[in-house]
Amino acid sequence: MSRFRLAVFGLFLAAAAAAQPARLVMVTEVWPPYRMDDPASASGFSGIDVDLMAALEARLGLPIEIKRVPWARALEMMRAGQADLITGIAWTAERATYMVYVPTSYSSVRPMFYAPRGKGAAVKSYDDLYGKGIGMSTHSSYFPRFDADGALDKIPLSTEEQILQMLSLGRLGLAVGTDPNLGWDIARLGLRELVEPTAWQPEDRTPLYLALSMKSPAAALAGRIDAAVKAMLADGTIERILAKYR
Protein backbone atom coordinates (compact mmCIF):
# COMPACT_ATOMS: atom_id res chain seq x y z
CA MET A 1 0.00 0.00 0.00
CA SER A 2 1.40 3.43 -0.92
CA ARG A 3 2.27 6.03 1.68
CA PHE A 4 -0.58 8.19 0.40
CA ARG A 5 -3.10 5.37 0.83
CA LEU A 6 -1.69 4.55 4.26
CA ALA A 7 -2.08 8.19 5.25
CA VAL A 8 -5.68 8.32 3.98
CA PHE A 9 -6.50 5.05 5.77
CA GLY A 10 -4.96 6.43 8.94
CA LEU A 11 -7.12 9.55 8.69
CA PHE A 12 -10.20 7.34 8.17
CA LEU A 13 -9.40 5.32 11.30
CA ALA A 14 -8.83 8.50 13.30
CA ALA A 15 -12.17 9.93 12.12
CA ALA A 16 -13.98 6.69 12.96
CA ALA A 17 -12.44 6.66 16.42
CA ALA A 18 -13.38 10.30 16.96
CA ALA A 19 -16.96 9.64 15.84
CA GLN A 20 -17.47 6.91 18.46
CA PRO A 21 -18.09 8.42 21.89
CA ALA A 22 -15.89 7.33 24.80
CA ARG A 23 -19.04 6.76 26.88
CA LEU A 24 -22.80 7.07 26.62
CA VAL A 25 -24.86 9.34 28.85
CA MET A 26 -28.31 7.96 29.57
CA VAL A 27 -30.98 10.25 31.04
CA THR A 28 -34.02 8.98 32.89
CA GLU A 29 -36.13 9.19 36.02
CA VAL A 30 -37.68 6.75 38.50
CA TRP A 31 -40.25 4.43 36.88
CA PRO A 32 -40.55 1.13 38.80
CA PRO A 33 -39.73 -1.63 38.15
CA TYR A 34 -37.69 -0.36 35.18
CA ARG A 35 -35.84 2.30 37.18
CA MET A 36 -36.07 2.34 40.99
CA ASP A 37 -34.45 4.38 43.74
CA ASP A 38 -31.38 2.60 45.07
CA PRO A 39 -29.03 4.76 47.19
CA ALA A 40 -26.57 1.85 47.40
CA SER A 41 -26.06 1.86 43.63
CA ALA A 42 -23.46 4.08 41.96
CA SER A 43 -26.14 5.45 39.62
CA GLY A 44 -28.77 5.81 42.34
CA PHE A 45 -30.94 3.36 40.44
CA SER A 46 -31.68 -0.34 40.22
CA GLY A 47 -34.20 -2.16 38.05
CA ILE A 48 -34.80 -3.65 34.63
CA ASP A 49 -33.23 -0.83 32.62
CA VAL A 50 -30.17 -0.65 34.89
CA ASP A 51 -29.51 -4.37 34.45
CA LEU A 52 -30.09 -4.01 30.71
CA MET A 53 -27.54 -1.17 30.51
CA ALA A 54 -24.95 -3.28 32.36
CA ALA A 55 -25.43 -6.07 29.82
CA LEU A 56 -25.27 -3.59 26.94
CA GLU A 57 -22.07 -2.01 28.31
CA ALA A 58 -20.38 -5.40 28.17
CA ARG A 59 -21.48 -6.04 24.60
CA LEU A 60 -20.58 -2.60 23.27
CA GLY A 61 -17.38 -2.14 25.27
CA LEU A 62 -18.57 1.37 26.21
CA PRO A 63 -19.39 2.66 29.69
CA ILE A 64 -22.92 4.02 30.18
CA GLU A 65 -23.40 6.81 32.72
CA ILE A 66 -26.95 7.12 34.07
CA LYS A 67 -28.14 10.62 34.97
CA ARG A 68 -31.37 11.25 36.86
CA VAL A 69 -33.49 14.13 35.61
CA PRO A 70 -37.26 14.73 35.37
CA TRP A 71 -38.79 13.02 32.32
CA ALA A 72 -39.65 16.26 30.53
CA ARG A 73 -36.07 17.45 31.02
CA ALA A 74 -34.72 14.11 29.78
CA LEU A 75 -36.64 14.52 26.53
CA GLU A 76 -35.35 18.07 26.08
CA MET A 77 -31.77 16.91 26.68
CA MET A 78 -32.25 14.26 23.99
CA ARG A 79 -33.66 16.89 21.64
CA ALA A 80 -30.70 19.20 22.22
CA GLY A 81 -28.03 16.49 22.03
CA GLN A 82 -27.08 17.00 25.69
CA ALA A 83 -27.59 13.27 26.32
CA ASP A 84 -26.96 10.21 24.17
CA LEU A 85 -29.42 7.55 25.24
CA ILE A 86 -32.84 7.05 26.79
CA THR A 87 -34.58 3.82 27.80
CA GLY A 88 -38.17 2.70 28.31
CA ILE A 89 -39.49 5.09 25.71
CA ALA A 90 -42.61 4.62 23.60
CA TRP A 91 -42.54 5.57 19.93
CA THR A 92 -44.27 8.78 18.86
CA ALA A 93 -43.97 10.65 15.56
CA GLU A 94 -42.87 13.81 17.38
CA ARG A 95 -40.10 12.07 19.32
CA ALA A 96 -38.90 10.38 16.14
CA THR A 97 -38.04 13.84 14.75
CA TYR A 98 -35.12 14.12 17.20
CA MET A 99 -34.37 10.54 18.29
CA VAL A 100 -33.11 7.47 16.45
CA TYR A 101 -35.13 4.54 17.78
CA VAL A 102 -33.35 1.21 18.09
CA PRO A 103 -35.80 -0.88 16.00
CA THR A 104 -36.14 -3.91 18.28
CA SER A 105 -38.35 -3.45 21.36
CA TYR A 106 -36.96 -5.02 24.54
CA SER A 107 -40.15 -4.99 26.61
CA SER A 108 -43.72 -3.68 26.66
CA VAL A 109 -46.22 -2.24 29.10
CA ARG A 110 -50.00 -2.11 29.16
CA PRO A 111 -51.93 1.14 29.69
CA MET A 112 -54.29 0.99 32.68
CA PHE A 113 -56.84 3.24 34.35
CA TYR A 114 -57.43 3.43 38.09
CA ALA A 115 -60.24 5.08 40.06
CA PRO A 116 -60.83 5.84 43.74
CA ARG A 117 -61.98 2.72 45.57
CA GLY A 118 -65.63 1.96 44.82
CA LYS A 119 -65.77 3.98 41.58
CA GLY A 120 -63.95 1.69 39.15
CA ALA A 121 -67.12 -0.13 38.06
CA ALA A 122 -68.53 3.10 36.61
CA VAL A 123 -65.99 3.04 33.75
CA LYS A 124 -67.40 0.34 31.46
CA SER A 125 -66.11 1.68 28.12
CA TYR A 126 -63.79 4.29 26.63
CA ASP A 127 -66.71 6.75 26.47
CA ASP A 128 -66.95 6.68 30.26
CA LEU A 129 -63.60 8.46 30.43
CA TYR A 130 -65.19 11.74 29.29
CA GLY A 131 -66.03 14.30 31.95
CA LYS A 132 -63.59 12.90 34.49
CA GLY A 133 -60.30 14.57 35.40
CA ILE A 134 -57.63 12.08 34.39
CA GLY A 135 -54.23 12.36 36.05
CA MET A 136 -51.35 11.53 33.71
CA SER A 137 -47.58 11.96 33.63
CA THR A 138 -46.43 15.06 31.77
CA HIS A 139 -45.19 14.32 28.22
CA SER A 140 -46.10 10.62 28.47
CA SER A 141 -47.64 8.50 25.72
CA TYR A 142 -50.20 5.78 26.55
CA PHE A 143 -52.14 4.55 23.51
CA PRO A 144 -53.02 6.24 20.21
CA ARG A 145 -56.71 7.00 20.78
CA PHE A 146 -56.10 8.47 24.23
CA ASP A 147 -52.99 10.40 23.16
CA ALA A 148 -54.85 12.08 20.27
CA ASP A 149 -58.12 12.77 22.12
CA GLY A 150 -58.32 16.48 22.90
CA ALA A 151 -61.84 16.17 24.35
CA LEU A 152 -60.69 14.29 27.45
CA ASP A 153 -59.96 16.22 30.63
CA LYS A 154 -56.28 15.32 30.98
CA ILE A 155 -54.39 16.68 33.98
CA PRO A 156 -50.60 16.44 33.48
CA LEU A 157 -48.63 15.96 36.70
CA SER A 158 -44.92 15.57 37.30
CA THR A 159 -44.79 12.10 38.89
CA GLU A 160 -46.91 8.97 39.10
CA GLU A 161 -46.61 9.12 42.90
CA GLN A 162 -48.28 12.54 42.87
CA ILE A 163 -51.00 11.23 40.55
CA LEU A 164 -51.78 8.26 42.82
CA GLN A 165 -51.78 10.34 45.99
CA MET A 166 -54.25 12.80 44.46
CA LEU A 167 -56.41 9.93 43.19
CA SER A 168 -56.50 8.31 46.62
CA LEU A 169 -57.68 11.63 48.11
CA GLY A 170 -60.45 11.96 45.52
CA ARG A 171 -58.84 14.98 43.85
CA LEU A 172 -58.78 13.19 40.50
CA GLY A 173 -61.56 11.23 38.85
CA LEU A 174 -59.17 8.75 37.27
CA ALA A 175 -55.48 8.04 36.80
CA VAL A 176 -53.83 6.56 33.74
CA GLY A 177 -50.50 4.81 33.77
CA THR A 178 -48.92 1.57 32.71
CA ASP A 179 -48.79 -1.91 34.16
CA PRO A 180 -46.63 -3.11 35.90
CA ASN A 181 -45.53 0.39 36.90
CA LEU A 182 -48.71 1.68 38.53
CA GLY A 183 -49.32 -1.58 40.37
CA TRP A 184 -45.79 -1.45 41.76
CA ASP A 185 -46.25 2.13 42.99
CA ILE A 186 -49.69 1.44 44.46
CA ALA A 187 -48.26 -1.40 46.55
CA ARG A 188 -45.19 0.65 47.57
CA LEU A 189 -47.33 3.61 48.66
CA GLY A 190 -49.81 1.43 50.56
CA LEU A 191 -52.78 2.55 48.45
CA ARG A 192 -54.35 -0.81 47.58
CA GLU A 193 -57.34 -0.13 49.82
CA LEU A 194 -57.88 3.36 48.40
CA VAL A 195 -57.74 2.87 44.61
CA GLU A 196 -58.85 0.17 42.17
CA PRO A 197 -58.63 -0.66 38.44
CA THR A 198 -61.56 0.44 36.30
CA ALA A 199 -63.91 -2.20 34.86
CA TRP A 200 -62.87 -1.27 31.30
CA GLN A 201 -59.21 -1.37 30.33
CA PRO A 202 -57.63 -0.74 26.90
CA GLU A 203 -56.33 -3.77 25.04
CA ASP A 204 -53.32 -1.89 23.65
CA ARG A 205 -49.77 -2.78 24.57
CA THR A 206 -47.01 -0.20 24.33
CA PRO A 207 -43.61 -1.46 23.12
CA LEU A 208 -40.63 0.06 24.92
CA TYR A 209 -37.46 0.99 23.06
CA LEU A 210 -33.98 2.36 23.49
CA ALA A 211 -33.43 5.59 21.57
CA LEU A 212 -30.44 7.78 20.71
CA SER A 213 -30.29 11.52 20.24
CA MET A 214 -29.98 12.48 16.57
CA LYS A 215 -27.56 15.23 17.63
CA SER A 216 -25.26 12.78 19.40
CA PRO A 217 -22.38 10.86 17.75
CA ALA A 218 -23.92 7.83 19.50
CA ALA A 219 -26.71 7.84 16.89
CA ALA A 220 -24.27 5.94 14.65
CA LEU A 221 -24.38 3.06 17.15
CA ALA A 222 -28.07 2.29 16.53
CA GLY A 223 -27.25 -0.74 14.37
CA ARG A 224 -24.81 -2.20 16.88
CA ILE A 225 -27.22 -1.65 19.75
CA ASP A 226 -30.06 -3.24 17.79
CA ALA A 227 -27.89 -6.30 17.10
CA ALA A 228 -27.07 -6.49 20.82
CA VAL A 229 -30.76 -6.27 21.81
CA LYS A 230 -31.66 -9.01 19.33
CA ALA A 231 -28.87 -11.22 20.67
CA MET A 232 -29.98 -10.66 24.27
CA LEU A 233 -33.55 -11.56 23.36
CA ALA A 234 -32.37 -14.69 21.55
CA ASP A 235 -30.07 -15.95 24.33
CA GLY A 236 -32.52 -15.26 27.15
CA THR A 237 -30.58 -12.41 28.78
CA ILE A 238 -33.49 -9.97 28.63
CA GLU A 239 -36.03 -12.56 29.80
CA ARG A 240 -33.83 -13.32 32.83
CA ILE A 241 -33.64 -9.61 33.64
CA LEU A 242 -37.41 -9.17 33.34
CA ALA A 243 -38.06 -12.26 35.48
CA LYS A 244 -36.10 -10.75 38.41
CA TYR A 245 -38.70 -8.00 38.77
CA ARG A 246 -41.98 -9.88 38.31
DSSP 80-108: HTS-SEEEEE---TTGGGTEEE-SS--EE
* CATH, residue 167: 3.40.190.10
* 169 and 237 together in one domain: no
Is residue 63 within 8 A of residue 127, CB to CB? The reply is no
In a domain, 24, yes or no: yes
Do 145 and 219 lie in one domain? The reply is no
Same domain, 180 and 219: no
Confirm whether 5 is domain-assigned: no
Does one domain contain both 168 and 217? no
CA angle 122, 119, 203 (to 5 degrees): 60
96 and 41 co-located in one domain: yes
24 and 98 belong to one structural domain: yes
Q: Give a yes or no: residue 128 inside a domain.
A: yes
Question: The pTM is what?
Answer: 0.76
Domain membership of residue 80 (yes or no) is yes
Does 61 share its domain with 133?
no
- Calculate the dihedral angle through the C-alpha atoms of 125, 126, 130, 132, rounding to the nearest 10 degrees: 70
Looking at the structure, do residues 240 and 129 belong to the same domain, yes or no? Answer: no
Q: Do 102 and 18 fall within a single domain?
A: yes
Along the 246 residues of the chain, how does pLDDT read in single tens digits? 445 444 433 433 344 344 667 899 999 998 989 999 899 888 889 999 999 999 999 999 999 999 999 999 999 999 999 999 999 999 999 999 999 999 999 999 999 999 999 999 999 999 999 999 999 998 888 999 999 999 999 999 988 899 999 999 999 999 999 988 888 889 889 999 999 999 999 999 999 999 999 999 999 999 999 999 999 999 999 999 999 887
Question: Does some domain include residue 83?
Answer: yes
**Does residue 7 form part of some domain?**
no
Residue 191 structural domain? 109-197
Measured distance CA(38)–CA(181) in Å, rounded: 16
User: Is residue 3 domain-resident?
Assistant: no
Tell me, yes or no, whether 2 lies in a domain.
no
Is the domain of 95 the same as that of 210? yes
Same domain, 118 and 101: no
Residues 85 and 118 placed together within one structural domain of the fold: no
What is the number of domains present in the chain? 2
Three-point CA angle 86, 18, 54, nearest 5°:
35
H-type alpha helices, the chain: 3-19, 48-60, 71-80, 144-148, 160-168, 181-188, 222-234, 237-244
